[in-house]
Amino acid sequence: MISVGIVGGSGYAGLELIRILYDHPETEISVVSSRVDDGKALNEVYRGLGSRRGKLVVSNPDAPELKKCDVVFFATPHGVAQKKSQELLDNGVRIIDLSPDFRLKDVKDWEHWYGMKHTAPELVSEAVYGLPEINAQKIRTAQLVANPGCYATAIQLGFLPLIASDEIDNKKLIADAKSGISGAGRSANRDNLFGEISENFRAYSLKGHRHHPEILQGLNDFTSEKNSLVFVPHVMPASRGIFATLYATARNRNLNPHATFEKWYEKSKFVEVLSAGVYPETRHVRGTNNCLISVNNNVLGDQIIVLVVIDNLVKGAAGQAVQNMNIMFGLEEKLGLEKLCLLP
């Protein structure tokens, strides 16, 4: 059994990790840590576990038991994993970081976007970006995996087949993306109250979202020149889910983008390219690690419209982290993640 530690077990991503890993046949949750819930029984923090399954006591994030784990997940705000990772790595612990600490390869760029000094710049080059659909080979041998952001996951999966094929104008990319409110985290915030979100819809971070440089970094790896992207995120009145509508201009009006996507994802474990004329909905992936993609041409034929849906807490966070863990430990990639969507 793989001994698992979770740092940040009381946030939404941490709780989602617990939900998935408790049913995983090859893992044992050995440590769950949280400064907020230190000393509480895990079933007090996550009532859904019940009295039989939640007997583990939540510890402090500095718990020495973490150094005995095979893998530790960081489901923490930025700045935490970079302070604690080196000691764990020195003790042979593999790390999957759900925070943004190791996603950006340019440390100065990271410091600009996150407004603080990076305390472990030497680990940035060591970290492998954990988008399995493009990086599975590197993930297999990685000691430190930087789990992608939720928007970054959806938007890269929707643009990469077109970018890599050089079939679109990479200076005219537009991403119009919506997220459920859980993407804002579990901390108290007036803007996230039910009365503010219910029956409401709003855009935010138009001057620059922190996932923007992460998305461009991933897209730029597949082109000889830098891409240009307009990215506008929105909050929708739902607890979870991401719906990204992506726009690109084709270089050739006779392009068949649907065939491009089908070939790109033909061996993917979780990405499904829908039949022509079928459009995804966020509820179709709720509670799953799946990504559904619909590829469309407009009437004129020069505009490609790609619709992408994921669950921001699963494929956009905890589920993708477990997918990475499976790859790292030589397990079947879908192990513990073959769940049907929750309806309604």
CB 181, CB 192: distance < 8 Å:
yes
Does residue 150 have an active-site annotation?
yes
Under 8 Å CB-to-CB from 267, ≥6 apart: which residues? none
Residue 122 one-letter amino acid: E
Q: Decide: helix, strand or coil at residue 45.
A: helix
Q: How far apart are CA 145 and CA 143, in angstroms?
A: 7
Q: Which residue has the tokens 């009295």?
A: 51
Full DSSP string of 89-126: HHTT-EEEE-SSTTT-S-HHHHHHHH-S--S-HHHHTT
Catalytic residue among 69, 150, 291, 341: 150
Q: Decide: helix, strand or coil at residue 308.
A: strand
CB atoms within 10 A of CB 139: 21
Q: Do the strands 242-249 and 303-310 form a parallel or antiparallel pair, or are they unpaired?
A: antiparallel
Q: Catalytic residues, which ones?
A: 150
